[in-house]
Structure 1
Amino acid sequence: MLRNLKKISYLQVFFIVCCALVVSTIIFRDLPFFWDAISKSARANWIYDNDLKQFIIPTEFNSGHPPLWIAMLAIFWTVFGKSILTARILLLIINIGVFWQISRLCKNNFINGISAGAMLLVCLEPTLVAQTTSLNNDMLLLFFTLFSLNSLINQKPFLFTLALMGLLFTNLRGIYLFTAILIIHAIYLRYRLISNNKATFSAYVIAAVSFGFFCVLQFRELGWFLITENTNYNQHRQTTGIKNVVINSIVYAKSYLEYGRFIIFLALMPLLYKYIKEKSLKNLLIDRMGIALFVISIVLFFGMVPFSNPIGNRYFMVCYILAIIVLINLIFLFQIKYKNVMLSAVVICFLSGHFWIYPATISQPWDSTLAYLRYFPLEVKMENYIKNSELEISHIGTRIRLNERDFSALQPLSETDKYAHFNIQTNAYILLSNIENYTKDDELLKVQNEWELLETFSDCGVFISLYKNPKLQTK
């Protein structure tokens, strides 16, 4: 399959991807901040409202993450005007940067005989595709992660310094990735997988000192650094017991296999075993990508599993990318007879990933596939139904984040436009959707089984439903 695309260049593939990203930005120009991205919007709004005079967010809504992404949002709003479209243009720029780094990683680490068209397979990874539409900081973190790997492999000290600083200032997970890059660097040198340029070591010092300076400033301003004192977020930074470690380990493994990715690791494991066993087939490019995949996966495992913070699929996008590159390399190294069938199966599984919908009683990482996009038209239909039925919004309880539109959609929201807090005992109506994971199973089943269903809208498994309390007659 990939040999038929031999005439295509990496630049042409990159141009195709960029066109797709531009079209996506136009189509979803009004798509609001979603899920965890809403909190990023709230913090960016604080910086914007304070005229960019302060970038250290108050403890009352500071999760502890460094402020690079929210600062960039606030600056873009200040320069180009505060709107969803402005934020999406910023995301488009970052997305283009991510796929440029992917093209460099593929070009420098695909073995001989693999067409540039193989990069398209990497670009189809479901969570990566979904995150190109999400106004969160994960694409920025992925950019700096790939930038770090490319700069390390190509021995570019100045660029490597910028990449490491970006890792540390984008997200707390950047600390894990910074550590992983350092370990990868040491292993590469130990096995002579890259040249020894001593100037690259200064990058770690410069990045660490810069981040340390920020931590000192934050401590002086807030009295803490890294581990927030905000109780809403502090609970996610706690160590957990053995039972939860086991559960988190299962969730961690599941994250690698969900949404069609199981096909990657189903094929990768036996091929990787064969590659390690047959020492005569050693290849520098495969070794480099395999080591990076192993080290980053292990560091992220020990950095996340022992803690209470929920594990999301988007945290491991770099691992998915590396795994796909290693798999493609191994398929061509061993000249697999049915490689076209295997690669076609990967494409089909990746595309099917956007249609994986779990039962409503099972929590789902909604920002990990494009499935979440199907929710927003349903929301519009439901609110039109509520308006036409002349129901009082204040009588409708929900845990859908409709009351945060001042940050999600950047639309002013008055108190009269806000829904009631979810309470089975007092709500006359309840609005349910599987797009949120906060409602407990017993609450969900009680409403679905005992309350009167007034209206429901659904699309390929995503639903939003309005129920009436049979014990209350308030309209």
Structure 2
Amino acid sequence: MTQFILDRKFLFLLVPYLILYIVAARNPLMWDTIQFASDQPSWYYDHNFRYFLLPDYCDSGHPPTFALYLASVWKVLGKSLWVCHTAMLPFVFMIVFQAVKLGDRIFPEDKKKAFLCSLLLLSEAVLITQTSLVSPDILVIAFFLYTLNAILGRSALHTTIAATLLGLFSMRTMMVSMGLFLFALSYNWAQVSKDRKPLFRYLLQQVLPFVPGGLIAMAYFGYHYAVKGWIGLNPQGPWAGGYQHWAGVGGFLRNLVVLAWRLVDIGKIGMVLVFGIMLLSWAMGRIRFATVTQKKMAQNLLVLFLALLAVLALPLCLYDSLLVHRYIMPFTISVSLLAIYLLLNSQVKAKNGIVIAVVLIQLSGHFWNYPRQYSQGWDGTLAHLPFFSLRAEFKQYMADHDIPKSEVATAFSLIKSDRIIDLKGDTTGYKDVYKDSTEYIWYSNVSNTMNKTVDYYFKNWQVIKYEKKGHVEMALFKRK
């Protein structure tokens, strides 16, 4: 393992992530990380782990493993933004480590192809951006890749450990575990004979590594239901609207279009085009694999794609407002794996150049921007980085001009107090722009929720401060 860590591929691919860590190590919390990395762990930290279940105001229904981890780190190293970001660093290392290992497992015969595979996985904009945040999805992807590698390595021990870790974080990761189980059934199928008795033993052998994680999840949800009377869907939580309303047939079809857009958004369009063209070429018999092993690997990666489509991506289309970029990262990884495997085993010329082009297109996702009235996946692009300096600038402006928080209304990502977002300072938050009448309105397009109504304020309120850095806008309005 030490030799692998010192491998030049690993070090080369790790360096950009380390640079990003240095840049972002003291950035405040934003978007969903405000709840997952502040509200929830603060409950455990402030109450010294006296209670196991979270209070309803910040209970998202998922197992609180991430919150417990962060609160434990705070107890040892202190509660600060730097500690939060540093607590993510081991799992960033793990993502790079497992991505490099995955390339070697899928392309054991060719080091260049293995490197290109790892490069493609690690250059995806949403993944890069998530590693700059204090996000539970960093751990999710680390354990997803670990489980996938354990299955490819046919290690029952590592599959058990990895699948158990994967099952500790959220309902989505449990869905991902089911997809990986189906992949394991396919990948190891060559080892079983066709008679009934070995088949039963085979099925039992494949399911056993996933049992501990399933039992832990069942125990948690059972206890949670016994105490609170609900499982998974918090009727009083901030995201209740997204989970409580079925999309219906029309909404499901509309969400399929949204899912398709999420797959090509933020720079992924190049990878999806390669995926579609290569899959069509394979179906038409234009891809001829050099060995039976390569053909079986392609078939197994197709199973992984279909499994995650069925158990992760499509179920999210059943509800309103759940097709978030970070939610489908395991699925998009399966798309990338199948796309690059088919491409590098095809007879297409300039394959290396195509991969590099796709990588560059993925990186271009950090520069994608939409008109103001359209919501944007800011936690999937580094274009959000100027938001932090603008927030600090506007807070200082309001302090210098004696504008009290009680007279400022705003929305998501700005509304919480400094103690929640910066983990220090004032405990007073701002007013809710949708509920409270105030003298001032504080807007940023990163908040998304105000983007469709902000034109009204530009037209009817006085703009006393406006700044734009990169794609990030921020404005302070005053009643005329």
Using structure 2 for the length normalisation, give the TM-score. 0.88
1:43 paired residue number:
40
- 8 Å contact from structure 1 (residues 167, 174) kept in 2: yes
1:259 paired residue number:
266
Moved more, 39-48 or 278-287: 278-287
Task: Provide closer, same or farther for how the CA distance between residues 396 and 201 of structure 1 changes in structure 2, counting only shifts above 3 A.
Answer: closer
The answer on 1:431 being equivalent to 2:442 is yes
2:279 paired residue number:
272
Q: For residue 392 of structure 2, what is the amino acid of its counterpart? A: V
Moved more, 193-202 or 112-121: 193-202
The answer on 1:167 being equivalent to 2:166 is yes
- 8 Å contact from structure 1 (residues 381, 457) kept in 2: no
User: Equivalent of 1:466, from 449, 471, 476?
Assistant: 476
2:115 paired residue number:
117
In structure 2, distance between residues paired with 1:270 and 1:423: 46
Alignment of 1:93-172 (within 5 A): 93-110=90-107, 112-115=109-112, 116-118=114-116, 119-172=118-171
User: Alpha-carbon deviations, 1:68-113, whole Å to 9, x = none?
Assistant: 1111101111122111111111101111112211112111012644
Task: Provide closer, same or farther for how the CA distance between residues 111 and 297 of structure 1 changes in structure 2, counting only shifts above 3 A.
Answer: farther
Alignment of 1:388-467 (within 5 A): 388-404=400-416, 405-415=418-428, 418-422=429-433, 426-439=437-450, 441=452, 443-467=453-477
In structure 1, distance between residues paired with 2:109 and 2:402: 66
In structure 2, distance between residues paired with 1:339 and 1:401: 42
Task: Provide closer, same or farther for how the CA distance between residues 11 and 290 of structure 1 changes in structure 2, counting only shifts above 3 A.
Answer: farther
User: Equivalent of 1:82, from 76, 79, 82?
Assistant: 79
In structure 2, distance between residues paired with 1:252 and 1:188: 27
Identity of aligned residues (%): 23
User: Equivalent of 2:21, from 16, 21, 25?
Assistant: 25
1:16 paired residue number:
12
Q: For residue 47 of structure 1, what is the amino acid of its counterpart? A: Y
The unaligned stretches of length 5 or more in structure 1 are 1-7, 471-475
1:216 paired residue number:
222
Q: CA deviation at 1:227?
A: 3.0
In structure 2, distance between residues paired with 1:409 and 1:372: 17
Q: CA deviation at 1:313?
A: 0.8
Moved more, 219-228 or 201-210: 219-228
User: Alpha-carbon deviations, 1:139-162, whole Å to 9, x = none?
Assistant: 111122222211122121122122
Q: CA deviation at 1:191?
A: 5.7
In structure 2, distance between residues paired with 1:226 and 1:414: 29
Moved more, 44-53 or 190-199: 190-199
User: Equivalent of 2:233, from 227, 240, 243?
Assistant: 227
User: Equivalent of 1:62, from 54, 59, 62?
Assistant: 59
In structure 1, distance between residues paired with 2:363 and 2:58: 37
In structure 2, distance between residues paired with 1:76 and 1:433: 32
Task: Provide closer, same or farther for how the CA distance between residues 94 and 204 of structure 1 changes in structure 2, counting only shifts above 3 A.
Answer: same
Q: Secondary structure at the match of 1:364?
A: coil
Q: CA deviation at 1:10?
A: 8.8
Q: CA deviation at 1:166?
A: 1.8
Q: For residue 46 of structure 2, what is the amino acid of its counterpart? A: D
In structure 1, distance between residues paired with 2:162 and 2:72: 20
In structure 1, distance between residues paired with 2:282 and 2:346: 9
2:335 paired residue number:
323
1:378 paired residue number:
390
Aligned positions, number: 460
In structure 2, distance between residues paired with 1:167 and 1:372: 28
2:323 paired residue number:
311
- 8 Å contact from structure 1 (residues 193, 284) kept in 2: no
- 8 Å contact from structure 2 (residues 5, 97) kept in 1: no
The unaligned stretches of length 5 or more in structure 2 are 194-198
Task: Provide closer, same or farther for how the CA distance between residues 193 and 140 of structure 1 changes in structure 2, counting only shifts above 3 A.
Answer: farther
Q: Secondary structure at the match of 1:357?
A: coil
Q: For residue 301 of structure 1, what is the amino acid of its counterpart? A: A
In structure 2, distance between residues paired with 1:122 and 1:10: 20
Q: Secondary structure at the match of 1:430?
A: strand
Using structure 1 for the length normalisation, give the TM-score. 0.89
- 8 Å contact from structure 2 (residues 419, 427) kept in 1: no
Q: Secondary structure at the match of 2:339?
A: helix
The answer on 1:202 being equivalent to 2:199 is no
In structure 1, distance between residues paired with 2:436 and 2:223: 47
Q: Secondary structure at the match of 1:454?
A: strand
- 8 Å contact from structure 2 (residues 30, 421) kept in 1: yes
- 8 Å contact from structure 2 (residues 163, 213) kept in 1: yes
Q: For residue 39 of structure 1, what is the amino acid of its counterpart? A: Q
User: Alpha-carbon deviations, 1:116-161, whole Å to 9, x = none?
Assistant: 4312232111011001112121111112222221112212112212
Q: For residue 94 of structure 2, what is the amino acid of its counterpart? A: G
In structure 2, distance between residues paired with 1:59 and 1:396: 27
Q: For residue 115 of structure 2, what is the amino acid of its counterpart? A: G
- 8 Å contact from structure 2 (residues 409, 436) kept in 1: no
In structure 2, distance between residues paired with 1:349 and 1:437: 25
Q: For residue 221 of structure 2, what is the amino acid of its counterpart? A: C
Task: Provide closer, same or farther for how the CA distance between residues 191 and 223 of structure 1 changes in structure 2, counting only shifts above 3 A.
Answer: same
